[in-house]
Structure 1
Amino acid sequence: MFDHKGRLTCGMLFDVLGWEAGTRIDITAHAGTIVVRGARGGAHEVKSRRFLHIPATVRHWCSFGARELVLLRAVPELSVLLIFGQERLDQALPDPRRLVDAARAVGGQVGGSGGGPSDRAVEAGRSVSRPAAGSGELGGGRRG
C-alpha cells in the first residue's frame, strides 16, 4: 500500500532483487503499471529505511491514489519490480462471482454427525491430508 507520501515499504522484495539502501533505480510507467528497474545511473534510489518513493507524476499516470492497495511483483532476472493497481488486478483475475457460483463442496457428509458446515470442513481436511492406501508414499505417512 502506498502511504500518504507515495512511499512503498517492500524490504523482502528488495532482498529478492538484491537491492540495498542506495541502489540506483529508474521508475517508469506502462499500461497502468509502474516499472521500477535497477539501473547504475538511475535517477532514483532505494532509501536507507528500505522504502521506495514513487513520484506523484508517475502515480497519477497510473491513477494510483494515496493509500492505494497495490500488488508488487519482483522479477529478479530483470532486476525489476512491477507495481500493479486494483484496476489491473480486476482485469487479470477471474470474476469472483463466477468462481463462487461454480465452486463445488469438497468431501462429503461425515456419517452420523449431522453433516453441518464444520463437519464437512473436518472431513474435507481428512480427505486431503490422508494418503491413499497403496499410494507408495515415502516416509511412513499416517494412515487412517
Structure 2
Amino acid sequence: MPALPQQRTEAKMYRLASIDSSGRIRDRSIIGAMGWEPGARLEIRQGGGVIVVRRDPQGVFTVTGQGHLLLPAAVRHWCGLAAGERVLLTADPAAKLLVVYPPIALDEMVAQAERAVLGGDPA
C-alpha cells in the first residue's frame, strides 16, 4: 500500500448516509456542495460496483423538491441496496462528480487494503 501524503491536495467531501424506503438519500450538504438545486437534472449510472451521478441538462433524473438525491429502483436493485442501508458518498465539486459506494463496494475496498497491508487473505 502506498504511503499517504502529508496533506490533502483535493477538496473532496465524504459523507455516510442512509437510504430511505423510497430510495432517497437525505444528506443535503453533499448536494449543496455540488451546487445542485432542487430540480437539477442528473445522469445516474452504475459501473464498476459504484453509482456515478453527474449533472446533465439532458438527464432523466432530478434532485427532489426537498433537495435530496433519489436513486432509481433499478440502480438500488442492481447494487442490492435496501431501505436503511448506509452508503459512502464522495463529492468532487471541481470534477462535478458524485460517487455512491454501496456496502459491497466498501467491503471489497477494505479487503483489498487489508490484503495489501497484511499480505494474502484477511483472517
Q: Same fold (TM over 0.5)?
A: yes
1:37 correspondence with 2:51: no
Cross-structure match for 2:80: 63
Distance 2:95 2:31 in 1: 13
Please, what TM-score do these two structures have when normalized by structure 1?
0.62
State the alpha-carbon separation in 1 of the partners of residues 57 and 94 from structure 2.
Answer: 16
Which residue of 76, 88, 102 maps to 1:85?
102
Higher-helix-fraction structure: 1
CA contact (8 A) 2:31 2:69 kept: no
The counterpart of 1:18, out of the listed 23, 27, 35, is 35
* TM superposition shift of 1:14: 1.3
Q: Distance in 2 between matches of 1:18 and 1:92?
A: 28
Higher RCO (C-alpha under 8 Å, 6+ residues apart): 2
Q: Indicate the SS of the match to 1:16.
A: helix
Q: Is the 8 A contact 1:36 1:81 kept in 2?
A: yes
Structure 2's unaligned 5+ residue stretches are 1-17, 119-123
Moved over 3 A (4+): none
Q: CA RMSD in A?
A: 1.7
- Determine the C-alpha separation between the residues in 1 that align with 2:46 and 2:107: 19
Q: d(CA) in 2 for partners of 1:10 and 1:28?
A: 19
CA distance in 2, matches of 1:78, 1:30: 18
Deviations 1:62-93 (A, max 9, x none): 12122111000001122221100112112212
**Unpaired runs of at least 5, structure 1:** 100-144
